Amino acid sequence: MAANGLLTLGRVKLSDLIATDGVPSDSYKLSVSTLSQSLSPYSAAIIQFSSSDGALLRSGLDSARLYFHQRPSFPDVIESDDSREWCRTSGYFADPQLWQEAYDYRPGLTPPDEHSSINSVEFLPPGALPDIFALLGRAARGILDAISFYLNLRSSPFAEILDNVPLRGREISSSVLSVCCHARPSFQGAHGQMGGLYEDDNHHIDKSLISLVKSDKSGLHIRDFNGRLLTPKINLAEIKCRIN
């Protein structure tokens, strides 16, 4: 693989990574090969969604941006308890020390009609989260199946650790769609201090399986297994998906 390694992050269409019954197509084998050659040295790959899926993702990101930027400078109620169970996070919380805000959507725990109990439009949760969760779930399963194909494993070897589709009874999803905002200008932190946030320090490390990126400025880097920082040659204005 080293001899045929990619010079930059591999880019594949999600539609080409969705397996079908029977003999694998040439496009599927090529996509799996590109994915594996990208993951091996770079620990990441770019997954391209269809135009209709891209429209959904764009609307979701725009809704999330509006949600955070309309919130007050410093929320009256903040959840930043590190003791919270990682598999039970749901709703809005913020960490003033890290200048980070997030809204976690977790099926089975986040009320589907949460907005109905909130009077102010300002605090409506970001829109389209259930649809985006389902879309990214299908993408993640397709990617995992492609990895298992490359490793010559049986179909769906990760089924035991993935959620049921759909969830059964009162099950709570082990996956979460976390919409994050980092260092928005109107978020002032616990003491109303803006000091110490210089451009060189304005960074965030994300370790999720699937990451959607929509940035106001350049600055996306990916760290490989050897600790090297790579700058992918992509336009952040385009809605793409990268897997780590």
> Which whole-number Å values give the CA distances from 200 to 100, 197, 203, 205, in the listed order?
17, 8, 8, 14
Q: What is the pLDDT along the chain (244 residues), one digit of tens a residue?
A: 344 567 788 899 999 999 889 999 999 999 999 999 998 888 888 899 999 998 999 899 889 888 888 887 655 445 544 545 656 788 888 887 777 888 999 999 887 655 444 444 445 788 899 999 999 999 989 999 999 999 999 888 888 888 899 999 889 998 889 888 877 777 664 444 333 333 344 444 555 556 665 555 555 566 666 666 666 655 544 544 555 4
Adjacency order of strands within the sheet including 11-13: 11-13, 45-48, 241-243, 210-212
CATH placement of domain 11-243 = 2.60.120.330
> Which whole-number Å values give the CA distances from 150 to 13, 115, 161, in the listed order?
17, 43, 19
Residue type, 177: L
Tokens 């099926």 belong to 107
What is the pTM (predicted TM-score) of this model?
0.74
DSSP strand pairing (45-48 vs 11-13): parallel
How far is 95 from 99, CA to CA, in rounded Å? 6
